[in-house]
Amino acid sequence: MKPLIAPSLLSADFLNLERDIEMINRSEADWFHLDIMDGVFVPNISFGFPLIEKISNKTTKPLDVHLMIVDPDRYIDRFVKSGATLISVHYEACTHLHRTVGAIKQAGAKAGVALNPHTPVNLLSDIIRDLDFVLIMSVNPGFGGQKFIEHSYDKIREVKKIIRETQSPALIEVDGGVDLQNAGMLISCGTDILVAGNTIFSSSDPAATIHQLKTGG
């Protein structure tokens, strides 16, 4: 099965955002990926609710919202109302993860849990049956354009093993340093969803690059 492709709008041209959104709408991409940063959990700040709502009004594909924020429970309903179809929260940011995952589903979105590079995947064993997807961070969160962390391949294989053992429905999403060189390896390790930012938006032909990622690079 071909992977789902989720272009990360953090790497889009903010002065021509509507143009880039329309390009993704026309392309073979499957989702729009939005990184939400609060300047606390990660050292950067990104999209606010007014912009998310405007983006949602222009997109024709699901909005995959990655919350890199502390206390995400406070905002789940508002993110869904703003257009989020899928919401991932960080294991490291949630004191009561099961409750947070339940709140995302109750609000009407699909629920995912993201893991920072240093976080062991076995910590998901008790929650993975309840997840729609797992987001493996293959760079440290907070900035685009970072180098892919090679150990991520092993983490993907480990998550795939847990999913099989628990018969979880969860898909595996990978975010950070995804490019045409490592896409094939990521897919062969068990990745279902590729998030790509710079690789797509710095390309001279972004739609063609999305097609290449879709076919494994």
Residue 50 CB neighbours (<10 A): 9
30 is catalytic: no
Adjacent-strand bridge partners of 86: 64, 110
Marked catalytic residue, from 20, 64, 132, 175:
175
Active-site pick, 35, 64, 132, 192: 35
Q: Is 35 a catalytic residue?
A: yes
Catalytic machinery residues = 35, 175
